[in-house]
Amino acid sequence: MKKILLTLLWGTCFFVVQAQEELLKLQAETRIDYQREYVDGTSIHSNSGFKGRYLNVIVSGTIAKQFSYSYRQRLNKAHSNQSFFDATDWLYLTYRPDEHWSVSVGKQVVGIGGYEYDRAPIDLYFCSEYWNNIPCYQMGISADYTFSQGKDKVMFQLCQSPFHAYADDMYAYNFMWYGSHGWFNTIYSVNMIEYQPDKYISYIALGHRLDFGEIALELDLMNRATDHQTYFFRNCSIMGELSYHPSESFNFFGKVTYDVNTTQVKTDYCVHPGTELTYVGGGVEFYPIKNNRNLRLHAFYSYSFGHNGNAEGAIPPEQSILNVGIKWKVDFLSFKNKKINFN
């Protein structure tokens, strides 16, 4: 750990010395929880007590007028001796020739629709079986186009398949639309993902966010099907979260997820055949510092019921979790020059 921190600090100093006219931002964030877990009334001691959930270092900035970079390293995640990238969430370079187009290359978030999927893991408390099993950071290249005065963006991405651990040289083809239209916002995608050589599973993922002042609803619908299958709703996930924020300091939320796979064909590695699992819960977030989101306290309770077709799945039926915790984010360094002009 000491070597990792020294390497990151050395790299930061290098950028400051070599790029006095450029922007650099260095941040760190972590979350510490205390929780109790029970499955069918039995206490799960291995997943109870104090838990360090995340420890992330985030670096972003510009190299030149049209080139920027972003890097997030998860220090609490194991990696192999061969690849430090195992614990790298993302590390990519972006070229932006004008205000509409951009191209990124490196390790990225796999372009799949939905608001549960889009949110940073450190800001999520309990999630669908699908979310828990999808390897969402992969090497690839993407191009996006922004239009409608910044209200819409479409993106095409070619990346390594999230399921490449099962076989080498497999890819995913992802097309996304981000929409921001006042109270109605979207993150949609269609995906074709190789799960075995020359065999694909297709996604239609529709994420919606509806904002009504102090109340917001996020509703995600995802349908999955493999080659030559045309059925709907036999292999799908639904995620919904309703939140109420009466003030800048408080946010109350309730959430439901539903994963089902009745296909009896083992081609989905995230939600196995025989699964019909519901996860419900709710909680509260508290931001004690006015006009500052860098410190957050939370508490939540969640409960699952149904059946998980994966005996080693992330969510066992009849699971109860009671959790309280704290997240904080620190801005170590911010170095900025004049505003970049793309004209």
Alpha helices in the chain (DSSP H): 2-18, 115-118, 129-133
The answer to whether residue 22 sits within a structural domain is: no
The answer to whether residue 7 sits within a structural domain is no
Question: Which neighbouring-strand residues pair with 321?
Answer: 37, 302
CB 329 within 8 A of CB 29: yes
pLDDT of amino acid 99: 95
**Within its chain, how far is the Cα of 236 from the centroid?**
19
**Structure-derived torsion over alpha carbons of residues 300, 306, 310, 313, reported in degrees to the nearest 10:** 10
Question: How many independent structural domains does the chain possess?
Answer: 1
Q: Write the CB contacts of 7 (distance below 8 Å, at least 6 apart in sequence).
A: none
Angle at 259 (CA atoms; ends 257, 260), nearest 5 degrees: 150
pLDDT for res 290 = 94
Fill in the amino acid letter for 188: Y
**pLDDT truncated to tens, each residue of the chain (343 aa)?**
444 444 444 444 444 444 444 478 999 999 999 999 999 999 999 999 999 999 999 999 999 889 999 999 999 876 665 567 888 999 999 999 999 999 999 999 999 999 999 999 999 999 999 999 999 999 999 999 999 999 999 999 999 999 998 889 999 999 999 999 999 999 999 999 999 999 999 999 999 999 999 999 999 999 999 876 667 889 999 999 999 999 999 999 999 999 999 998 889 999 999 999 999 999 999 999 999 999 999 999 999 999 999 999 999 999 999 999 999 999 988 877 655 454 4
The verdict on residue 311 lying in a domain is: yes
Closest CA to 3 of 75, 109, 87: 75
Rg (alpha carbons) of the chain, rounded to whole number: 21
Identify whether 26 is part of a domain.
Answer: no
Residue 136 lies in a domain: yes
Question: Considering the domain boundaries, does residue 56 fall inside one?
Answer: yes
Q: Is residue 2 part of a domain?
A: no
Domain of residue 192, residue span: 45-335
Is 16 contained in some domain?
Answer: no
Asked whether the beta carbons of 242 and 257 are under 8 A apart, the reply is: no
Report d(CA 181, CA 8) in Å as an integer.
Answer: 39
Per-residue confidence (pLDDT) for residue 339, from 0 to 100: 55
Q: What is the reported pLDDT for 85? A: 84
Q: Taking the model in full, what pTM does it have?
A: 0.90
Q: What is the CATH number of the domain that holds 286?
A: 2.40.160.10
- Tokens 């001691």 identify what position? 45
Q: How far apart are CA 343 and CA 340, in angstroms?
A: 9
